[in-house]
Chain A
Amino acid sequence: MTDHSAPAPLVAAAPNGMLRILTRRSEAVILPLAALLVGFGVFSIFLLLQGKSPIEFFSLTYKAGFGTAFSWQNTLSRTAPLLFAALCVALPARLGLVVIGGEGAIVLGGVAAGAMGALLATSPGAMALPIMAASAMIIGGLWIGAVGALRYVRGVNETIASLLLAYIAIALMNHLVEGPLRDPASLNKPSTAPLPDTLRVGDLPGWEVHWGLAFGLLCCVLAWVLIEKTTWGFAARIAGGNMRAAQVQGLPVGWLIIGFTALGGALAGLAGFFEVAAVHGSANASLATGYGYTGILIAFLARHNPLAIIPVAILLAGFEASSGLIQRRMGLPDATTLVLQGFVFISILMSDTLYGRFKMFAPERWRSA
């Protein structure tokens, strides 16, 4: 996915240069927001056709997702894996790659963390936790990095390959969790051995939100710095704009592709680590709950900007956090969230066609009005 920021030429710093830059930048904020609202609008019509009240839906979502301190904690706990999952889409996207198999890296990262934790059960947390996190990142990085490598070396379509690998990852997890890594004591829900308390990741001080959120926010900021402020990020953006031009310029396109996909996968693996070490306490089928797929939508809504991922992830986490209450109160099925996500996703993609169409975002065209 390329970044469709305004194709305007660089404008010399006029006295109102700041205003001009802000105006041009605002396009990238206002259009996605408008698309989000249109998506909500279509979803509201969908609800009205079912005889359900959209007002009730959104007010319940607000109440259960953002209304109280408790609901905020619920929302923020779900935000953590979404941040990582969205980064797994956004980082390769800056190179023009549509990688959608982050779910696979999350699942295998979780299994790696769970297996490592079972192996190091008697070690002190200060030693075992970094090893668990590192193994989750390595397996996730290898998994999605392989997608990048296949793309560069063999020209394999990364979208299809990553989704196939996600299915393979889930099958591998089922095999490992029901076979070699199974804790005999887990009867109904096959799992790895439960982590001892020393190997659990706790909550942020004073909150009931685990440390994954802090790391997720940190990774978003670091990813933003990587893309916007380093030469690697600069090279990646050039390659994302025009792969051939980047190759002609002698940029290491292959390493950029493999590096960015592997980094995205490593972060998704970290999401799996936090899900196991902070939420579930062992690796099992609960790892495959679709965080990877929600991450795709978040990255696209944020236009693959790591900082914009933060508010979007919180918003979508709020919808997921309130899904239970909406099911009970409004009698809607659990797939309602998926329907909403589908409408919003289509709306945001349609808005791609509008960039550069509005004069109000292009100061250099104002005078000709």
Chain B
Amino acid sequence: MESDLGLWVIPLAILGGAIRVSTPFLFVSLGEVLTERSGRINLGLEGTLVFGAMAGYASAYLTGSPWLGVAAAAMAGAFFGLIHGLICSLPRVNDIAVGIAMMILGMGLAFYFGKPYVQPVAPDLPSINFGWWSDVPQVKAALRVNVLFLIGAVLAFAMWWMLRTTKIGLTLRVVGDSTDAARAMGLRPALIRTMATAAGGAFAGVGGAYLSLFYPGSWNEGISSGQGLMAVALVIFARWNPIACFGAALLFGGTGALGPTLQSVGISEGYYLFFAAPYVLTLGVLIATSSPTRAMTGAPGELSITK
């Protein structure tokens, strides 16, 4: 069977990989869109992702339900976001630096509490077989789509709609574009930003739960290697647009799947270099989309990284 497919194995595996690997990118970047649209940047989502992975795994193991794991990860993520938001509400505190500190704290706490859960096996999140029509195992594997991926895709469109048309979305955008205008409207920018950061953290937590409960599907200290950070960069690439985040997450997922895919077909030369591909892509995208002179299109006016 494998010989029939020939080299088609590679794009098929990358497609499957893109769907599998992109979900954490998608959730973290959607969360970061919410936060950044309110005018703050949370670089700590890498730590939130790792802690969410641990909290989700531990809860799923203890309760036997992967969905309770996802809920626990979302709550833990919201808590981390809340802390970040509250600290950044103090005057003259730098949100980028606080993000770095939250990254260290999140990873530290995750490794601290996660030690006993490295060995046990937690139940996986369910997935849906869209490849039922095919007898080719590779096609079946590529089209086994996790429910969280579908939820994330729906959420991307829902968030786009929310930011565009609802009162909440408008409030968020006003606060993100001009603190003064928001104050003049009687809004409370610090409170709204804190809530947006907490909601963003919840998304990142769910992304972490996906890592430990579906793919790769176990908890260990190396579970995330910068996915949270890459997702933050991806938001800039996606120009703070949730639907563009969905596309960008698929692109990054595909790149992330490159190394394992090539290894699975027997190309192991330069494995570590392929492993670095997502980072190189992220950096390349950042270089291509940044500009030293003009503000970026679509950038929230109060965002510190684009000012």
Contacts and interface: CB of A to CB of B under 8 A. Distances in A.
Interface of A: 1, 4, 98, 100, 150, 152-157, 159-161, 163-165, 167-168, 171-172, 174-175, 178-179, 293, 296-297, 300, 332-343, 345-346, 349-350, 352-353, 355
A171 B275 contact: yes
Interface string B129-150: 0000000000000000000000
Contact of B112 (A154, A165, A339): A339
Given A160-B305, A349-B87, 6 more contacts: A152-B292, A161-B286, A164-B279, A167-B225, A167-B226, A172-B272
A287 B230 CA distance: 23
B92 A4 contact: yes
A174 B100 contact: no
Contacts of B94: 1, 98, 349, 352
Given A1-B97, A339-B112, A353 B292 contact: no
Contacts of B271: 175
B109 A154 contact: no
B149 to A, nearest CB: 24
B43 interface: yes
Contacts of B273: 171-172, 175
A164 B102 contact: no
B23 to A, nearest CB: 20
B108 A339 contact: yes
A332 to B, nearest CB: 8
B270 A160 contact: no
A293 B107 CA distance: 12
Ranked 5 nearest A-B pairs via Cβ: A342-B105, A338-B108, A335-B111, A171-B276, A155-B292
Interface residues of B, number: 48
A190 B273 CA distance: 16
A165 B101 CA distance: 19
B6 interface: no
Nearest to A169: B276
Which of B43, B90, B112, B270 has the largest number of chain A CB atoms within 10 A?
Answer: B112
B263 to A, nearest CB: 13
Contacts of B287: 150, 154, 156
A164 B282 contact: yes
A339 B109 contact: yes
Contacts of A163: 226, 229
B283 A164 contact: yes
A355 B97 CA distance: 17
A127 to B, nearest CB: 32
B115 interface: yes
A346 B100 contact: no
A350 B108 CA distance: 19
A164 B111 CA distance: 22
B102 A160 contact: no
Contacts of B92: 4, 352-353, 355
Contacts of A339: 105, 108-109, 112
A159 B43 contact: yes
Given A1-B97, A345-B101, A346-B101, A167 B276 contact: yes
Interface of B: 43, 83, 87, 90-94, 96-98, 100-102, 104-112, 115, 225-226, 229-230, 232-233, 236, 270-273, 275-276, 279-280, 282-283, 286-287, 290-293, 305
15 contacts: A98-B94, A159-B43, A160-B305, A164-B283, A297-B104, A333-B115, A335-B107, A338-B112, A339-B112, A345-B104, A346-B102, A349-B87, A349-B98, A350-B93, A353-B92
Judged by DSSP, the binding face of B is: helix
A336 B112 contact: yes
Most chain A CB atoms below 10 A, which of B108, B111, B292: B108
Contact of A338 (B107, B226, B283, B293): B107
Contacts of A155: 290-293
B272 A171 contact: yes
Contacts of A154: 287, 290-292
Given A342-B109, A353-B90, A300 B97 contact: yes
Contact of A164 (B112, B229, B236, B270): B229
Nearest to A336: B112
A343 B105 CA distance: 7
A39 to B, nearest CB: 10
Contacts of B291: 154-155
Nearest to A294: B104
A265 to B, nearest CB: 16
Nearest to B97: A349
B283 A296 contact: no
B93 A160 contact: no
B276 A335 contact: no
Given A171-B275, A349-B94, A160 B109 contact: no
A297 B230 CA distance: 22
Contact of B108 (A157, A342, A349): A342
Contacts of B290: 154-157
Contacts of B102: 342, 346
B93 A349 contact: yes
Contacts of A1: 94, 97
A345 B292 contact: no
Contacts of B96: 98, 159
| Most chain B beta carbons < 10 A, residue from A179, A332, A336, A345 | A345
B113 to A, nearest CB: 9
A171 B108 CA distance: 23
A177 to B, nearest CB: 9
A346 B109 contact: no
A12 B75 CA distance: 56
A75 to B, nearest CB: 21
Contacts of B233: 160, 164
A159 B100 contact: yes
Nearest to B277: A171
Contacts of A98: 94, 96-97, 100
A172 B275 CA distance: 10
Contacts of A337: 108
B279 to A, nearest CB: 5
Nearest to B104: A342
A175 B272 contact: yes
